[in-house]
Structure 1
Amino acid sequence: MKSVRRPLVAVSAVLVLVVVQAVADPTGLLALVGWSGAVPTLAAGGWSFAPYLVGFPVLLGMVWWVTVRAGERYWTLVTGVVLAVLVAQALSCLVMTWNLAVSAWAAGYVTAKAVPAALIVAAVARWFGGPTRRETHRCGPPWIPAALFAAAAPLLAGEWWTSAAYAPGVPVARPDRGPASVIVAVLLIGLATVVCLRWMRRRVPGVLGGWLAALVAGGLVGFVQAVVAFAVDGGLSGDLWPAMAAYVAVADGLSFGACVGWIVGVGAVVVERIPAAGRVRVARLSAATIVVVAVVVALGVPAIAPASAADSSATASGSAGAADAAPAGFLRASGTAITDGRGDQVLLRGVNVNQLVDFYQPKTGLAATRPLTEADFAGIAARGFDVVRLNLSWSALEPTRGTLSPSYLAAVKEAVGWARQHGIYVVLDMHQDGWWKGATPAGTDCRAGTDPMWGYDGAPAWATITDGAPRCQFTGRDISPAGDRAFQNFYFDTSGVQSALVATWGRLARVFRDEPTVAGYDLLNEPGFGETAPVTTSYLLGRFYDRAIGAIRAAGSRQIVVVEPSILWSGLGFDTGPAPGFTTDGNIVFSPHLYAESITMDRSLGLPPIVGLERQFTLAQRVAAEYDAPLWSGEYGYWGDTADVDARLARYAKAEDANRLGSAYWVWKQACGDPQNGIGPTGNGLQVQNCATGGDAAPRTDLLAILSRAYPRSAPGTLSVLSAKGPDLLLVGSTAQDSCGLEVWVPGATMPTVHSTGVTALATVAASGGWLITGCASGRYTLNTST
């Protein structure tokens, strides 16, 4: 009988590690089993207890088991503890969602916590666990269990291998990526499993040996995918993306091995029961099975639908044709382009306007916003912008639950009316920063590592449920235990707070359903990650979006709906976002905020860029293509007052033109008392405020010169080339249907010289701040302007 000393030491090490991490990590996000100060409650639901009543016991039980079975060798025990952490995470998420696909995929998100913990626990067990007795075990042929594991990959693809990390050319076992990808991936998984089984099963017997082999094989496949990605996805380009892509691929592989690898373990044990005389024949047969399975699956088996699509509330069902049903004059999403419904592509380029946001006021007597007037829209139009992302506050829109504020709604209507008068589209954005405007209450004792914080903006107090978590920030406003718990309660619809916002969107959409000036609805600005990403940031965020879209369509509104990934995209330069298929609605736009090299965490930490400024467009386009939706960045900029701000904006503009995209710069005006401004001598933004006088300072003409460059507001068909600097423009497009929808903005007082091919009825007319060039295009056309 084996001694219980080593498993007892290992479990004790896990207990100590969990306690130390819970004390040291004030957010609860970086710990194996974190505690942020929020108290689990029955009102919140079972999800608040899941980490403690499911995840923690499973972790301890699994660590005991793997130490008993695989604890004689350091590296097998490391692998076993990694398995224990991933399985505990998956089961905890399963209790939260009752969705196998989401829970299994979510296990990979704790890889960065699982590996260091495993190294520590295995080391402690080796040092204090007593003498080892290494044995070598006999094992059967590995081909059958390897074939089963490889065959399971495309059949159970679920949400694995869907993110910006998987560039075209990287083999993944998803039938929607094509037969070649599946065949290569299945062969790769099968061969890696054979190799790992031969190594692991001699050291660890039984089901666990095969399971651990599958775990290592999954990680090995992820490493190979990362090598391929490095070769096909730009390699070293001055950023850390290859390392991040490698981490994502390895984490996906490990979670796949952890959650599906028991198939290998069971298969290996069954094979050992086969009489020796029959093993050779079976081995030969199963060696060919991997190849046959790969081909058959690649050619004929669809991937299991992403969980968020499969079990969504279906409130948006029947709305797939919303784009086609949009009335004349309304913008819509058509494939990967925003169009006017006549086949003309529309580029929405403009600015954010935050002057209706209900901000926290950090300094008495210093206003948090500047008044919004018609002059703002006149000034925006004079710069050639054709869209305003109008930031709204739920707290001001619905201060009392169930009732929209008449005065605030009137202010929104007035702003939309001004935009209409000046030929500007409006995207109504439900804005939030840090969930709500509450600051750290006086007398709060913030834990070490966190600091008291200002409030910001967002939800009303009645929709803010923090369960006692402290309002203290860690590295910034977006990591606050109270804010994270408030988001968690929102995602799980505690006390119906999510349902309330869904209903609010329905009421707001009913007001503007007949207003073509409203281009679309941005459902929630930079959604927080709560406490359990990606359950929150993918599955539950997608469910909220689907419900809100359903409410908007039920209100009779056919405008575009803008959906964002979580705040992680703004902080890292990439994210997963809702799983493809989260809604059946076809009239959506994908809108990550392209802040690479700006407010991302790498810059604040002095690291090389996680994602380079130019690469971010490629990654965002890749994810938009998974949604079959246009890409539009609702925010970018905010490079502060550093010496290279102009150079970075010029790079952004060049990349934006090369990708033929629109976006909205942050921000038109920022008041001196805006908490995001930080209380300085001037208010940030393109239109600067003098904090000493409260009046206007000189505007940022350097930035405006870049932002106000020439561009096509609308262009027939599809654009293939777009390049501009100031008033100089080159565009190339093609259209299968003749159209007179060409409209180009050119800045400046001097009338531009225009050269074109394939364009007729050219006309150049003066507009506020510049010129508008219109014409009719047929087939392939070009247009070039200069002054």
Structure 2
Amino acid sequence: MKSVRRPAAALITMLMLVTIQAFADPTGVLALVGWSGAIPQPSAGVWPIAAYLVYVPVLLVVLWWATVRAGDRYWTLVPGVVVAVMLAQAAAAFVMSWDLAVAAWAAGYVTAKAVPAALIVAAFTRWFGGRTTRRRVDRGAIWLPAALFAAVAPLVAGLWWTGAAYAPGVPAARLERGPVSVIVTMVLIAGATALCLRWMRARVPGVLGGWLAALVAGGIVGVVQALIAVAVDGGFNGDIWPLMTAYITVADGLSFGACLGWVAGVTAVVSDRVRAGRPARAFHLAAALLAVLAVGASLVLSAVGSASAAPATASSGDEAIPKTFLRADGGVIRDGDGDQVMLRGVNVNQLVDFYRPRADVAATDPLTEGDFAGIAALGFDVVRLNLSWSALEPERGAFDQTYVDRISEAVGWAKAHGLYVVLDMHQDAWWSGATPDGTQCRPGTDPMWGYDGAPEWATITDGAPRCQFQGRDISPAGNRAFQNFYFDTDGIQSALVETWGRLAAVFADEPTVAGYDLLNEPGFGETAPVTTSYLLGRYYDRAIEAIRSAGAPQIVFVEPSILWSGLGFDSGPPQGFTSDRNIVFSPHLYAESLTMDRSLGIPSIVGMDRQFTLAKRVADAYGAPVWSGEIGYWGDRADVIDRLGRYAKAEDANLLGSAYWVWKQACGDPQGGIVDVTDALSPTICASGKPAPTDAAKLGILSRAYPRTAPGELTSLTADGADVALAGTADTPGCGLEVWIPGTSQPEVHVTGITNLETTAVDGGWSVTGCAEGEYTLFTNP
């Protein structure tokens, strides 16, 4: 009875916790096992039922085992429950991705759920599980299992210890970070594991004792990594990023320990049996261990190796891009002459198929050539043209030629005014459907407007309610629609891939089109990071292949999920998600703007200056430039001007470009609500429909001087209105220098290393051109 009561108490507590969370969480995002109201469809495959037929059984079986073996003490049962939750997550992720590395890494994403659940389950088990006898046993082998567990780390690193959190100087067991980093990390893992083995194995016998020791050791290593990050990554410095770093490093360490801690456990038991004179059984255990390790290491190494070392296809190489087109070159964007190009501009949403909150108020303003003339007169050189899949392909397989003609017309207007175009497949909350009348939203959620994006035929919600939780981007229906897209239910992802191929074919010969933004702010679905990293990367790879097959050589802009816009960082697609080199990493740099911290009134998760560092860190892993497809600030005008001015200085310091949100906003735009005066660079008085006065201070910041193109590579840039100072270096001579300077007064320009200097009046300001070789500088009088 005693041996059953305690694990039974643990299982009953866990089942109650799972049930309560499922009903209490209206979105299914925060619960261990969520239920959003969607009805699983067997035709969709295994993923809709993985949480119920894989996650729950694994959770309960491992929990029973952990309670039987480690349930005598509260602080040994807690890590046992954590292991159960993480292994359940890994198992469910594996049947969704069939990728061991992704599944093991994904286990860390439940840390915020696993640890509180473990504390609760362990507490109730202690209270209601009956009396226990706290045994102490011989702790046995320590250093051999610790050393072998540490040695495994660089072999099966998978996706652990990557991303924005791991600044240079933070030790990580990844071979590409160099031998010093790997050795230091292995020493940390071995030392922490040995320390934990000494304590845990004396209290928890068998394989589980070593396994739990490895789990705790992984968490300890994560804490050490986080402390080092505080020292080498700028500290708190006005934001709470170090806390997020700590969460990520600890989560990585715990998932590493949960998924591979059995290595330490089995090695410890084998060592004990050899010492006890039972070599035959030890041999069998060791053979099984080595076999599993060999298979696991080969799978992970082959996956990582093929992803990181796959040769680029011919269509993605620079040699395949005609000279008139832009291309990505390492960390910068260049033109065919090799000059660095800085794309600065605005978003144009006037072709978006928005939901209309009120039938009598337009959701978009007409798009005319005058819009492009006005954009060019502010010195911008790019338009991020937002498109709607719902308008492009209202019926499956049938393009709306009228809409395609409108896109082509817009590209022609941009070309006439010297502007590049990024074609952006825009979406907000997946599609334009609003909460149907009569819908009963679960407590904690509210009825919502529709927004824009996919056509109705590509929207599969499985009956989940269209109700929002803390904003449009967390909706059971929207999450399920994204989930179905990521898993290509009914071929809807394949349909968008084909659509990209058809659209790219239209503009394959048009150098005005700088590139294609494959999906605006992708939602996280229901199973991040399987969705937001692995499956998002798979979609991008397929879409890129379709674009290249259509003969389109332009840049492809890839975004991380909506989590980046909401938190200021995200994991993004895994390294090596595509072999194509002509890509640009395009997060939306909204730190201190519309990120979650600002809406909650807490300190910034990621500060304005730090966001550039994090974006570049992820882009460097892809070998790609950074370009922010959206920026913007709203609220009190004085505060907006202050933040926008700080952003501009940081953007110049980081030599980056961006597109402001938004050029025009209609009075019935669902993103702005029904308003009296629209909040855009070109605002409208809604009562009369006439233009409202523009914000001169805002325009002065955004239309400040900058180099549109520069020979070689820029090394520094500062600007304030018409005052600009820049420096660069050109290994080979080039005459591609073009600097935009706003204002009516001709600027006085001073240069070194620049010849053939010319200053020409253009709409809204001046164009300064010249040739450069070697180190060069240009500045205007303050």
Does the 8 Å contact 1:602/1:609 carry over to 2? Answer: yes
Partner of residue 492, structure 2: 497
After superposition, the C-alpha distances for 1:281-300 in whole angstroms (9 at most, x for unaligned) are x9xxxxxxxxxxxxxxxxxx
Shift of 1:276: 6.0
* CA deviations over 1:166-194 (Å, ceiling 9, x no partner): 00000000001111111101111111111
**Aligned equivalents of 2:394 and 2:685: distance in 1?**
32
Sequence identity percentage: 69
State the partner residue of 2:301. 304
Q: Is contact 1:139-1:272 (8 Å) kept?
A: no
Q: 1:510 to 1:473 in 2, by over 3 A?
A: same
Alignment partner, residue 630 of structure 1: 625
SS of match in other structure, 1:683? coil
- Could you say what secondary structure the match of 1:216 adopts? helix
Aligned AA (2:118)? A
Residues 771/642 of structure 1: CA separation in 2 closer, same or farther (3 Å cut): closer
Higher mean C-alpha deviation, range 434-443 or range 316-325: 316-325
For 2:358 and 2:638, how far apart are their aligned partners in 1?
29
Once the two structures are TM-superposed, the CA of residue 663 in structure 1 deviates from its matched residue by 0.5
CA distance in 2, matches of 1:324, 1:416: 25
- The answer as to whether partners of 1:595 and 1:637 remain within 8 angstroms in 2 is yes
**1:336, distance to aligned residue in structure 2 (A):** 0.6
Q: Post-superposition shift, 1:576?
A: 0.1
Distance 1:108 1:322, change over 3 A: same
**Aligned residue for 1:711?**
706
1:479 aligns with 2:483: no
Partner of 2:396: 401
Q: Is the CA contact 1:490–1:498 (under 8 Å) kept in the aligned structure 2?
A: yes
Structure 2 counterpart of 1:252, one-letter code: D
The alpha carbon displacement at 1:310 in A equals 4.5
Distance 2:359 2:426 in 1: 23
Does structure 2 retain, via aligned residues, the 8 Å contact 1:308–1:582? no
Tell me the equivalent position of 1:456. 451
In the TM superposition, residue 328 of structure 1 has moved relative to its aligned partner by 1.3
Q: Which of 572, 576, 580 in structure 2 is aligned with 1:581?
A: 576
Q: Give the C-alpha shift of residue 748 in structure 1.
A: 0.2
Cα drift, residue 323 of structure 1: 3.0
Q: Following TM superposition, by how much is the alpha carbon of 1:398 offset from its aligned partner in structure 2, in angstroms? A: 0.5
**SS of 1:134 mapped into structure 2:** coil
Quote the residue 1:83 is aligned against: 83
**How far, CA to CA, are the matches of 2:666 and 2:695 in structure 1?**
15
> Is the partner of 1:467 in helix, strand or coil?
coil
Task: Give the Cα separation in 1 of the matches to 2:558 and 2:319.
Answer: 19
Give the partner amino acid of 2:96.
Answer: M
Q: 2 CA distance for matches of 1:308 and 1:353?
A: 40
| Separation in 1, partners of 2:774, 2:498 | 46
* Correspondence for 1:175: 175
Cα root mean square deviation, aligned: 1.8
Tell me, yes or no, if structure 1 residue 621 matches structure 2 residue 616. Answer: yes
Alpha-carbon distance in 2 for matches of 1:64, 1:25: 26
Give 1:517-666 correspondences, 5 Å limit.
517-666=512-661
Q: Which residue of 1 aligns with 2:751?
A: 756
For residues 546-599 of structure 1, give each alpha carbon's deviation from its aligned partner in whole angstroms, at most 9, with x where no partner exists: 000000000000000000000000000000000010000000000000000111
Unpaired runs of 5+ in structure 2?
A: 283-297
- Cα pair 2:308 2:576 within 8 Å, conserved: no
Any residues of structure 2 matched to 1:168-567 within 5 Å, and which?
168-275=168-275, 304=301, 310=307, 318-319=313-314, 321-567=316-562
Q: Distance in 1 between matches of 2:598 and 2:49?
A: 36
What residue is the counterpart of 2:285 in the other structure? none
Q: What is the alpha-carbon distance in structure 2 between the residues aligned to residue 396 and residue 775 of structure 1?
A: 44
CA contact (8 A) 2:315 2:553 kept: no
- For residues 102-113 of structure 1, what are the structure 2 equivalents within 5 Å? 102-113=102-113
**Letter in structure 1 aligned against 2:501:** G
TM-score, length-normalised on structure 2? 0.96
3-state SS in 1 of match to 2:544: helix
Deviations 1:680-700 (Å, cap 9, x if unpaired)?
211121111111112211122
TM-score by length of 1: 0.95
**Secondary structure at 2:704's aligned position in 1?**
coil
Q: Among 712, 715, 718, which residue is 1:720 paired with?
A: 715
Distance 1:277 1:35 in 2: 52
Counterpart residue identity of residue 685, structure 1 = A
The verdict on how the C-alpha distance between 1:302 and 1:652 changes in structure 2, with shifts beyond 3 A counting, is: farther
| Structure 1 residue 477: Cα displacement | 0.4
How many angstroms apart in 2 are the aligned matches of 1:317 and 1:2?
62
Residue in 2 that maps onto 1:156: 156
The answer to whether the Cα contact below 8 Å between 2:414 and 2:420 also exists between their aligned partners in 1 is yes
SS in 2 for 1:49: helix
CA contact (8 A) 2:386 2:425 kept: yes
For 1:403, the aligned partner's letter is: A
In the TM superposition, residue 309 of structure 1 has moved relative to its aligned partner by 6.0
Q: Which residue of 2 aligns with 1:123?
A: 123
Three-state SS of the structure 1 residue aligned to 2:385 is: strand
- The offset of 1:308, in angstroms, is 11
Is the contact made by 1:309 and 1:582 (CA closer than 8 Å) also made in structure 2?
A: no
Q: Residue 285 of structure 1 corresponds to which residue in structure 2?
A: none
Please name the residue that 2:97 is paired with.
97
> Kindly tell me: are residues 480 and 306 of structure 1, through their superposed partners in 2, closer, same or farther at Cα, counting changes over 3 Å?
farther
Displacement of 1:141 in angstroms is 2.4
C-alpha separation in 1, matches of 2:457 and 2:299: 45
Aligned AA for 1:24? Answer: A
- AA matched with 2:509: D
Distance, in Å, in 2 between the alignment partners of 1:303 and 1:126 is 39
Shift of 1:302: 13
Gaps of at least 5 residues in structure 1 are 283-300
Change (3 A) 1:540 1:303: closer
Q: CA deviation at 1:241?
A: 0.1
Counterpart amino acid of 1:235? G
In structure 2, the residue matched to 1:27 is 27
Amino acid at match of 1:749: T
The answer to whether structure 1 residue 4 and structure 2 residue 4 are counterparts is yes
Equivalent residues of 2:312, 2:581 under 8 A apart: no
User: Does the 8 A contact of 2:101 with 2:300 survive in 1?
Assistant: no
**CA shift for structure 1 position 42:** 1.0
Deviation sequence 1:760-786 (CA, Å, 0-9, x none): 000000000000000000100000013
Q: Deviations over 1:697-756 (max 9, x none)?
A: 112222110000000000011111100000000001001000000000000000000000
Deviation at 1:324, TM superposition (A): 2.8
In the TM superposition, what whole-angstrom CA distance separates every residue of 1:637-684 from its partner, at most 9, and x where no partner exists?
A: 132345400000000000000000000011101111000011121112
Aligned to 1:694: 689
CA distance in 2, matches of 1:681, 1:256: 54
Partner of 2:70: 70
1:294 maps to none
**1:308/1:539 contact within 8 Å kept:** no
Contact 1:167 1:229 in 2 (8 A): yes
Deviations 1:26-53 (A, max 9, x none): 0001000000001111111111110000
Matching residue of 2:289: none
CA deviations on 1:361-395 (whole Å, 9 max, x unpaired) are 00121000011000000000000000000000000
Alignment of 1:42-57 (within 5 A): 42-57=42-57
Distance 1:771 1:337 in 2: 25
**AA aligned opposite 1:304:** L
Aligned to 1:713, the other structure's residue is in SS state: strand
Aligned CA distance change for structure 1 residues 310 and 772 (closer, same or farther; 3 Å): closer
